Amino acid sequence: MKLEKTFRHTRSIFLAIGALALFSCTAQTNDLNPQSIVIADFEQNEIDQNIQAFNAEIALVPKKTGDQRLNIAFSTSHSSSGINIVPTTPWSTSDLGNNALMFDVENTGDYPVMLSAAVTGANQAYQRRTYGVGVGEKLTLYFELKGYQLDINNGLYDTPPAFQTSAKKMPIRGSKLTIDFDKVYGVKIYTEKQMRSTEVSIDNIRIASTPEPNQNYLKNIMDAFGQRADMSFPLKVNSEEELRAYAKEELAVLAQDTSFSGRSKFGGWKNGPKLEATGYFRVEKLHDKWSLIDPEGYLYFSSGIANARMSNTSTFTGIDYADDSVRIIDPDDVTPEDSQGISGDYREAQKTSYVANQTRRDMFEWLPDYDHPLANHYGYRRKAHLGPMPHGEVFSFYQANLERRYGESTPQSYLQDWHDVTLKRMQHWGFTSFGNWTDPMFYNNQQLPYFANGWIIGDFKTLSSGFDIWGKMPDVFDPEFMRRARITAKVVADEVNNSPWCVGVFIDNEMSWGGAAPAIRRYGIVFDALSKSAESSPTKAVFTEHLKDKYEDIANLNASWHKDIASWQILSEGVNYKSDETYSPAMLEDLAWLLSVYAEEYFKVVRSAVKEVMPNHLYLGNRFTTWGTAPEAAIAAKKYSDVVSYNYYGEGIDNMTFGFLETLDAPVIIGEYHIGAGDVGHPNPGKILAPNQQARADMFKVYLNSAIDHPHIVGAHWFQYIDSPLTGRAHDGENYNVGFVTMTDIPFPHMVKAAQEVHANMYLRRYPLMVK
């Protein structure tokens, strides 16, 4: 029978979850115990009508203890699948004080599941959180809705729990938002783009009060080696002697033969067909598969690791300097702030140091005094993308650990040791290249191919897509943009020095192209240009001339767009259609056309700049995101790029996301992917989560093999080489466990083994019918 009420008065059921005392109650909180609101406990014979499955199979199943739970079998053929729970009236949480959504979960399937929850609050805004649940694992998850400093920006993507409990905190997924959850309008429990069949059972979904917080929960969370101070885990280093012992043991392993059989000088497939050799990397489609071809003419798949550099290893210390000279930025600089190394002499500026953020200062058990031998690993960030500190002092525990690990026989000799060991590791692990953001010190190596990168920054005009995650888009018709593109390309060319070991160059990264829908997002760049005057925006001037050439008379444009623009002059001065709800079909066609004009100019300018100074190297595009790239941009990239690049954080190359490649029919390289786990202390493990290090390694194999199997994908690059700082990288607070090595420069053994296993059969898997 159907439930007469979704939420009913029941007997009080004590649920002991660590320090959480939770009680079942009605649709409203129990008058005697306002500590929890039961959303669903599945004790009736039918699933309540407020619980709706989408793209998933659900069923009530009995527990061994006698009560019931809801089993959810997720889809592998839909972008998202799970359940939505929408109450007739919103749940009021205002009497609960600090509170969290909680539910019990068991992984009843054969594979780990990355389980997400989304909670909708005021103004239909919602926050997402995620947790990696291991096979057979039973646990209680919690999703904080109101809590101590929950809405405070402390420079970490996410923080450790603020209170004691045996329940597991779900880390933030996506952007951290400030939302009023005094009323909760809906709960969604789901997965996204599953590569393998997964299922869970859930029970006791509730919103519950949480215990009193520890107001010092962020104090001294990082130890002297940059590790989590308040927990133990394998590979944790407790002394410099132990760190050096790890190094000695690894160096002995690396000294052994590290070659992978059947590989050419550049890492191509020596046992496969030999094609035209040009002395540099190129692309060719062979038997319906796109492939990179190495300089000797062998088929080549680029399995690489990105971000092998010091730039993103630093974290804000909470200190700033009153000396303004440290914040001067050269307007002709071609290197963005987050790509700056850990270098510089700040001894004079340090005399003016002061505590700018006490919370961050208190996160560290230890930082060196300015006269300490490791004080040379301090740096300074002149600006940050996100976080509570717009600028300030930073410290690299990773670079300090390199000095501890290898010593310093000559100034910064530990960096040369790191360079040599890193090259040996990459070959020992079977990788065929470095990825993007390789430290230029590797550019002159003769052992492993690499990818160069550049950014076009400068004082050119910009446009907004309305979805400017990392920054606004360039006004590509501004002559200054073309000038800066040439300057950037020349700097990269000088660093590469025509090396055949350079596969090619990425320019820019994850630009705000918009998306596939709706119109205001897809064509946001065009809408923004139309709103500007032709006098102030070169792109607007070009758009105006294109529209004049097409329509001749403004009346023709108005008839097509269903608008009432008084004259071409008014159009030139700016028309704003960003808030319109509908657009005529002809206007949508013109918006797509104008976006193509814009996108083609971007890629044409950049390709021209690159090929002028690097004619022998591949231009690899700007590393699109799958969620923020209008189709017009991808088509333009295919026209002008040698290889189209995408960064994709998922469990693998799924057809739901990449089915369009069959139509695009271009060689594609994955510029970034990763999987993280929470068992080594990182409060936010990463964008894609695994329950532990073994599962992380298994998921790495699934992703990389799916890329190897795809006929359009010519390479995939793991992001990144080194774990993020526990207290957040200075640029934006990312504090992920996504490295192949720890902050103490110790390789994760499960990841190393997984890489060796995949790479041992990589070419036979990709080209099973092409053995010589």
Question: What are the residues whose beta carbons fall under 8 Å from the beta carbon of 673, sequence distance 6 or more?
Answer: 647, 648, 649, 650, 688, 703, 716, 717, 718, 719
In terms of pLDDT, which residue wins out, 30 or 516? 516
Residue 344, pLDDT above cutoff 70: yes
605 φ/ψ angles, rounded to the nearest 5 degrees: -60, -45
Instruction: Note the pTM of the prediction, 2 decimals.
Output: 0.94
Mean pLDDT for the stretch of residues 751-768: 97
Question: Which residues are bridge partners to 300 per DSSP?
Answer: 292
For the stretch 146-180, what's the b/e string if a residue is b when 16 or more beta carbons lie within 10 angstroms of its beta carbon?
Answer: bbbebeeebbbbbbbbbbebebbbbbbbeebeebe
pLDDT band (50, 70, 90) for residue 8: very low
Distance of alpha carbon 567 from alpha carbon 570, whole angstroms: 5
Residue 4, pLDDT above cutoff 80: no
Residue 3, pLDDT above cutoff 80: no
Question: Which residues are bridge partners to 187 per DSSP?
Answer: 85, 119
Task: Please give the distance of CA 192 from its chain centroid, rounded to a whole number.
Answer: 15
- Residue 343 to residues 210, 398, 743: CA-CA distances in angstroms? 44, 14, 19
Cβ atoms 100, 181 nearer than 8 A: no
DSSP 21: E
Residue 17, pLDDT above cutoff 80: no
Task: Give SS3 for 506.
Answer: strand
Task: Tokens 């009080």: give the residue.
Answer: 12
Task: Tokens 């006698």: give the residue.
Answer: 66
Residue 22, pLDDT above cutoff 80: no
> What is the C-alpha end-to-end distance of the chain, expressed in Å?
67
pLDDT band (50, 70, 90) for residue 6: very low
pLDDT at residue 65, rounded to an integer: 64
Task: Tokens 């320090």: give the residue.
Answer: 19
Distance of alpha carbon 116 from alpha carbon 82, whole angstroms: 9
pLDDT at residue 12, rounded to an integer: 31
C-alpha angle 454-459-461 in degrees, rounded to nearest 5: 105
Query: How confident is the model over 120-158, as pLDDT tens digits?
Result: 999 999 999 999 999 999 999 999 999 999 999 999 999
pLDDT band (50, 70, 90) for residue 14: very low
Cβ atoms 217, 360 nearer than 8 A: no
- My answer on whether omega of the bond before 388 falls inside 30° of 0, hence cis, is no
Residue 56, pLDDT above cutoff 80: yes
Domain ranges of the chain: 15-209, 314-402
Cβ atoms 754, 762 nearer than 8 A: no
Mean pLDDT for the stretch of residues 96-106: 97
pLDDT at residue 16, rounded to an integer: 32
Query: How confident is the model over 659-677, as pLDDT tens digits?
Result: 999 999 999 999 999 999 9
Question: Which residues are bridge partners to 718 per DSSP?
Answer: 305, 673
Mean pLDDT for the stretch of residues 175-191: 96
Query: How confident is the model over 711-751, as pLDDT tens digits?
Result: 999 999 999 999 999 999 999 999 999 999 999 999 999 99
Q: Does domain 15-209 have CATH number 2.60.120.430?
A: yes
Distance of alpha carbon 611 from alpha carbon 493, whole angstroms: 10
E strands in 575-667: 618-619, 624-625, 644-647
Distance of alpha carbon 135 from alpha carbon 109, whole angstroms: 6
Cβ atoms 135, 699 nearer than 8 A: no
Query: How confident is the model over 536-592, as pLDDT tens digits?
Result: 999 999 999 999 999 999 999 999 999 999 999 999 999 999 999 999 999 999 999
What is the overall mean pLDDT for the chain?
Answer: 93
Residue 45, pLDDT above cutoff 90: no
Among candidates 110, 109, 47, 111, which has minimal Cα distance to 84? Answer: 47
Exposed, middle or buried, 289 (CB in 10 Å: 0-12/13-18/19+)? middle
pLDDT at residue 468, rounded to an integer: 87
Residue % of the chain over a pLDDT of 90: 89
Distance of alpha carbon 70 from alpha carbon 204, whole angstroms: 10
pLDDT at residue 156, rounded to an integer: 95
For residue 693, the one-letter residue type is Q
Distance of alpha carbon 181 from alpha carbon 179, whole angstroms: 6
pLDDT at residue 470, rounded to an integer: 86
Cβ atoms 186, 40 nearer than 8 A: no
Residue 67, pLDDT above cutoff 60: yes
DSSP 71: E
Task: Please give the distance of CA 386 from its chain centroid, rounded to a whole number.
Answer: 15
